[in-house]
Chains A and B, each alone.
Chain A
Amino acid sequence: MMTNEASALRGRPAALRGGSVRIEGARKVYGSVRALDDVSLEVAPGEFLALLGPSGSGKTTLLMTVAGFEVPDAGMITVDGRDVTTVPPNRRDLGMVFQRYALFPHMSLRDNVGFPLRMRGVATDERAARADRVLGVVGLEGYGDRLPSQLSGGQQQRVALARAIVYEPPVLLMDEPLSALDKNLREQMRLEIKHLQKRLGVTVIFVTHDQEEALVMADRIAVLDKGRLVQIGAPRELYEKPCNPFVAGFLGETNFLTGTVAGRDAAGAPALALQNGASVAGSPAVPLDEGARALLSIRPEQITLQAGPAAAGALGGRVAEVIYAGASTIYLVDVGTGAPLNVRRPSGAEETLGEGTPVRVTWRASDARIFPAEA
Chain B
Amino acid sequence: MAAATANAAANPRGFGPRASLVLILPVMLLLAVFFVLPLTGLLDQSFRSPDLGIANYVRALGSDLYMKILLRTVWLSVIVTALTLVLGYPVALTMSRVSGRMQLAIAVCVLIPLWTSVLVRSYAWIVLLQRRGIVNEFLLQTGLIDQPLRLLYREGTVIVAMTHVLLPFMILSIYSVLRSIPKDLSMAASNLGAGGFSTFRHVIWPLSLPGVYSGVLMVFIIALGFYITPALLGGPETLMMSTLIGQQTTETLDWGLAGALSVVLLGLTLLLVGLFGRALRLEGKGI
- A→B interface (CB under 8 Å): 67-69, 88-96, 98-100, 102-106, 115-116, 118-120, 163, 167
Contacts and interface: CB of A to CB of B under 8 A. Distances in A.
B193 interface: yes
A90 B188 contact: no
A68 B192 CA distance: 12
A102 B193 contact: no
Contacts of B202: 104, 115, 118
B203 A88 contact: no
B197 to A, nearest CB: 11
Contacts of A102: 182, 184-185, 187-188
Given A106-B206, A119-B192, A167-B193, A89 B187 contact: yes
Nearest to B184: A102
Interface of B: 182, 184-185, 187-195, 198, 202-203, 206-207, 287
Q: Which 9 pairs show the lowest CB-CB distances between chains A and B?
A: A119-B193, A102-B188, A116-B192, A102-B184, A89-B190, A96-B191, A90-B190, A98-B184, A106-B206
Among B191, B192, B203, B206, the most chain A Cβ lie within 10 Å of the Cβ of B192
B198 to A, nearest CB: 6
Given A116-B193, A119-B194, 5 more contacts: A90-B193, A95-B191, A96-B191, A104-B188, A106-B207
A34 to B, nearest CB: 22
Nearest to B209: A106
Contacts of B188: 96, 98, 102-104
Among A94, A98, A120, A163, the most chain B Cβ lie within 10 Å of the Cβ of A98
B125 to A, nearest CB: 40
A67 to B, nearest CB: 6
Among B182, B189, B193, B198, the most chain A Cβ lie within 10 Å of the Cβ of B193
A98 B187 contact: yes
A24 B200 CA distance: 34
A94 B191 contact: yes
B83 to A, nearest CB: 27
Nearest to A99: B184
Contact of A90 (B184, B194, B287): B194
A88 B190 contact: yes
A104 B185 contact: yes
B191 A89 contact: yes
Contacts of B193: 90-91, 93, 116, 119-120, 167
A115 B184 contact: no
B63 to A, nearest CB: 47
Given A98-B184, A100-B184, A105 B207 contact: yes
B206 to A, nearest CB: 5
Contacts of B190: 68-69, 88-90
A115 B187 contact: no
Given A69-B187, A102-B187, A115 B182 contact: no
Given A116-B192, A163-B192, A104 B203 contact: yes
Contacts of B287: 106
Contacts of A90: 190-195
Contacts of B207: 104-106
Nearest to B187: A69
A119 B198 contact: yes
A96 B193 CA distance: 11
Contacts of A106: 206-207, 287
Contacts of A115: 189, 192, 194, 202
25 contacts: A89-B187, A90-B192, A92-B191, A93-B193, A96-B188, A96-B191, A98-B188, A99-B184, A100-B184, A102-B187, A102-B188, A104-B185, A104-B188, A104-B189, A104-B203, A105-B207, A106-B207, A106-B287, A115-B192, A115-B194, A116-B192, A116-B193, A120-B193, A163-B192, A167-B192
